[in-house]
Structure 1
């Protein structure tokens, strides 16, 4: 029997672990996402992103509040709520309506660096899927600007790659990866509850 070496016990990459840990939640969300419906229209989009806003607002306020290790572009990633608000205002909502959007009370807590990376993994990863939805829905939902779906635009791919590099650099221990995976699952579940299923508590 060959001797077990240190390389045989190597911890899987953080990205691989996060993908496996959230596979079921990600698949369920994709299957139930309202944006996938063939009859999805202007009002549906505005109502949908208003729910996303209520989920994102408390999350974004804490997620990017502390200095991010080795993530110099964290400030650029912290403005996703502004994309939604721009869509709502340009779509006909008043400032008062936007300010009155209910806030999700059960978003995951970004209590340490590992959990913050797990939550950010969900947020940053969503920009990739949104770019495909932008191309699909833009003709149907014109003239809405779809800032939320466009996201970083041409910078989406490079920013995702830079995030993954930081993720792999910072989450090198099994306990860190486990904490990040738990936070990512919580992020998916809270999003599904609040945005897709419309649960208030």
Structure 2
């Protein structure tokens, strides 16, 4: 899944992002309740209300900042509308969704490199969603029609879109400072997300 070898800067950016976020990624995964025997339909709904409370303000800020390096197709990759549809399928009204609390502490999006770091986390989560989708289908009978669309947001395109994203990431020229900014933003995304979910009392 690495970019082509002739892209000298890309592997170092990808490896910096992977290595820099590894501990935070593992720590958050251990606290997410998807594989907990206690997770029921109500717990799933509350979890995804919290997800919406993070994704909605983060994507709004990300896509409004005009700093994302050229080549990223926002229309294909925005996640918030799918979360909104899932919450409606889970029984919320549009008014209830609009009234959900939103995360006040988000990663800084003040450089193009920082945008890449945030996108790395958001796109990586879609890959991990495939395992969660299967578990939620088995345990809660959820699919794309009744509240599980977010976990399979790209469907059969998941693998290809991840590879396309890595290719995009590999073709953005960044110096050492830029790579550090990307890594810092990715780490901040994990930290902000975990703290938000914790504050909403949906983690283990």
1:194–1:171 distance in 2 versus 1, CA, 3 Å: farther
Does the 8 Å CA contact 1:109/1:115 hold for their aligned counterparts?
yes
Does the 8 Å CA contact 2:34/2:135 hold for their aligned counterparts?
no
Normalised by the length of structure 1, the TM-score is 0.87
Does the 8 Å CA contact 2:113/2:179 hold for their aligned counterparts?
yes
Does the 8 Å CA contact 1:122/1:188 hold for their aligned counterparts?
yes
Does the 8 Å CA contact 1:134/1:150 hold for their aligned counterparts?
yes
Does the 8 Å CA contact 1:64/1:75 hold for their aligned counterparts?
no
Q: What residue is the counterpart of 1:6 in the other structure?
A: none
- The 5-angstrom pairing of residues 18-29 of structure 1 reads 18-29=17-28
Deviations 1:132-179 (A, max 9, x none): 110111122225340111111111111111111111211431111100
Q: What residue is the counterpart of 2:181 in the other structure?
A: 179
Distance 1:87 1:54 in 2: 13
Number of residue equivalences: 189
- The 5-angstrom pairing of residues 95-110 of structure 1 reads 95-110=94-109
1:117 maps to 2:154: no
- The 5-angstrom pairing of residues 1-201 of structure 1 reads 13-65=12-64, 66=66, 68-78=68-78, 80-143=79-142, 144-198=146-200
Distance 1:171 1:50 in 2: 37
Instruction: State the secondary structure of the residue aligned to 1:13.
Output: helix
Distance 1:87 1:194 in 2: 20
Distance 2:42 2:12 in 1: 41
Cα deviation for residue 83 of structure 1 reads: 1.1
Give unmatched runs, 5+ long, in structure 2.
1-7
Distance 1:83 1:157 in 2: 19
1:38–1:161 distance in 2 versus 1, CA, 3 Å: same
